[in-house]
């Protein structure tokens, strides 16, 4: 299998994974947490490169540490998840920049961590994405109802006898794993567009939650495959092209939603005027 075919397979898998995980991010209001992780896993990749280890392994270990730190800070009195995410975001990215500046002779360019290079992904990267994709499917199939319940009614979830910590930790771990496997393809910075964009677009277009994941998966695959093809046709960076395609789909969804609402308001106004005249 050639490099472009490998990149296309990674785009499909990562796009589908982003659709599933992005839905969890949007419904559980974890967007800023995800942004923090995309920035804060950067030093894990730098440390792994300096030690001659697998970059995904370094980013994965660092992401686990960061998730635990964020959970700890968020439980401090009068501190919330937003504060924890902000602290970790700044700390992680600053540490990565510091380590990189102290080791300017490292063979791997820092751009590789930040914006990725999907055209150079290895079979190992694709296997890692596939494993996380299967884990995401398993979580939805096994605990999908609990995820929805805890997302829309946290108090009721506790009263019903469920343990919110377990479901929260599972969702955070899945988000962290997705950020890690997205690094080789679209980088630590650009991955938030592919993870959150398809899910936000899907939520704008449909009201039924059960259809949100399939539509988000479709948008994620379109973003990955479409962005990769655009990068090939116009000879532009693949990571940026994929992220911009996801953003373009979001803009299109916003426009469609506004047009639909405007037509609905005009229709309702027309019906009200007709009823007034008839009266």
Question: Using CA atoms, how far apart are residues 216 and 206, in angstroms rounded to an integer?
Answer: 10
pLDDT at 33: 81
Asked whether the beta carbons of 135 and 177 are under 8 A apart, the reply is yes
CATH superfamily of 3-278: ABC transporter involved in vitamin B12 uptake, BtuC (1.10.3470.10)
Q: Where are the beta strands (DSSP E) in 22-90?
A: none
Q: Within 13 Å and on the Cβ side, how many CA atoms surround 64?
A: 5
Q: Looking at residue 46, what is its pLDDT? A: 79
pLDDT tens readout for residues 52-95: 788 788 888 888 887 777 777 766 655 556 666 777 777 777 88
Q: With a cut of 50, which residues of the chain have pLDDT below it?
A: none
Instruction: Give DSSP secondary structure letters for 124-191.
Output: HHHHHHHHHHHHHHHHHHHHHHHHHHHHH-HHHHHHTT--HHHHHHHHHHHHHHHHHHHHHHHHHHHH
Around Cβ 131, how many Cβ atoms within 10 Å?
12
The confidence score (pLDDT) of residue 56 equals 81
Task: Sketch the domain layout of the chain as residue ranges.
Answer: 3-278
Quote the CA–CA distance of 221 and 217 in Å, as a whole number. Answer: 6
Q: Which of 8, 14, 9 is nearest to 198 (CA)?
A: 14
What was the pLDDT predicted at 84? 66
């Amino acid at each position: 299998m050639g490099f472009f075919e490998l990149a296309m397979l990674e785009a499909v898998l990562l796009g589908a994974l982003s659709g599933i995980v992005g839905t969890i991010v949007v419904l559980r209001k974890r967007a800023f947490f995800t942004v923090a992780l995309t920035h804060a896993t950067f030093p894990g990749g730098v440390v792994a490169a300096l030690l001659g280890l697998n970059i995904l392994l370094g980013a994965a270990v660092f992401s686990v540490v960061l998730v635990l730190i964020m959970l700890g800070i968020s439980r401090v009195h009068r501190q919330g998840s937003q504060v924890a995410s902000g602290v970790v975001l700044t700390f992680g990215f600053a540490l990565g920049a510091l380590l990189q500046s102290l080791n300017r002779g490292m063979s791997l360019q820092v751009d590789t961590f930040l914006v990725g290079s999907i055209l150079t992904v290895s079979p190992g990267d694709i296997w890692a994405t596939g494993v996380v994709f299967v884990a995401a499917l398993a979580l939805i199939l096994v605990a999908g109802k609990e995820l929805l319940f805890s997302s829309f009614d946290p108090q009721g979830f506790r009263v019903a006898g469920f343990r919110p910590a377990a479901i929260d930790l599972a969702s955070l771990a899945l988000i962290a794993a997705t950020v890690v496997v997205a690094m080789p393809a679209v980088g630590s910075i650009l991955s938030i567009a592919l993870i959150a964009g398809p899910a936000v677009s899907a939520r704008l277009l449909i009201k039924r939650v059960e259809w949100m994941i399939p539509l988000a998966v479709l948008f994620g695959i379109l973003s990955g495959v479409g962005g990769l093809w655009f990068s090939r046709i116009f000879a532009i960076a693949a990571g940026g092209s994929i992220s911009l395609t996801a953003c373009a789909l979001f803009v299109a969804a916003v426009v469609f939603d506004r047009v639909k609402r405007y037509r609905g308001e005009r229709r309702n106004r027309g019906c009200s005027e007709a009823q007034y005249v008839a009266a």
